[in-house]
Amino acid sequence: MRDGEPDYEVGDMLRVSCAPAPARVTEVPRSHVSIEWPWGDVDPDSRYGWDGRFALPVEPDGREWSLFRTEQDPRGLKPDDTCLVGIPETLVHVVDVGRYDPPMDTGRLPRPHTLLIVLPVDRPGSAVGGEDEGDTIELDSAAPIVTERVSPADRVS
């Protein structure tokens, strides 16, 4: 945990969002839409060869789930389209927390020191401990992700 940063724990409920940013679509295979990631930079010292792209599921509520969504229906996107990508306000449970010192090499800058694995609270079968279907929030990410711890009583927005 860094100074001034909340100490998230497994079981915490969070309200998460990220203001949308424009991104160029690079590829649209059957199950994903690949975009040029609008936040952060390629890490030149990484052992990974990240190409600056990020894949999002075409079926946003399918088995493969992502916090990030395109504002346009991903099934209608094609290469070279411009879309908006962000996180609509979503309630999630923290199902795992990873802390890294030194920060983790992901291929992107900045390197994250804390990763939260989360699942949406309203996802069928969602329960603490179901991290296989979760998504990752990188604290101190270049993406302007907003996280707010909420109590179950605050769940209705």
Residues of the domain holding 81: 13-154
- Could you give the percent of the chain with pLDDT greater than 90? 68
The per-residue pLDDT for range 112-151, each reduced to its tens digit, is 999 999 999 986 555 544 445 789 999 888 999 999 999 8
Name the phi and psi angles at 83, rounded to 5. Answer: -135, 170
Task: Spell out a b/e string for 72-109, using b for 16 or more CB atoms within 10 Å of the CB, else e.
Answer: eebeebeeebebebbbeebbbbbbbbeeeeeeeebebb
Tokens standing for 98? 């990873």
- Residue 17's pLDDT is 97
The per-residue pLDDT for range 66-83, each reduced to its tens digit, is 999 999 999 899 999 999
Residue type, 13: M
What is the CB neighbour count within 10 angstroms for residue 7?
11
> Has residue 3 been placed in a domain?
no
- Residue 5's pLDDT is 62
Burial (0-12, 13-18, 19+ Cβ within 10 Å), 119: buried
> Has residue 86 been placed in a domain?
yes
> Has residue 2 been placed in a domain?
no
Tally of domains in the chain: 1
Q: Assess whether pLDDT exceeds 80 at residue 61.
A: no
- Residue 59's pLDDT is 80
- Residue 141's pLDDT is 86
User: Cα(39)–Cα(25) distance, rounded to whole angstroms?
Assistant: 15
> Has residue 1 been placed in a domain?
no
Q: Assess whether pLDDT exceeds 70 at residue 22.
A: yes
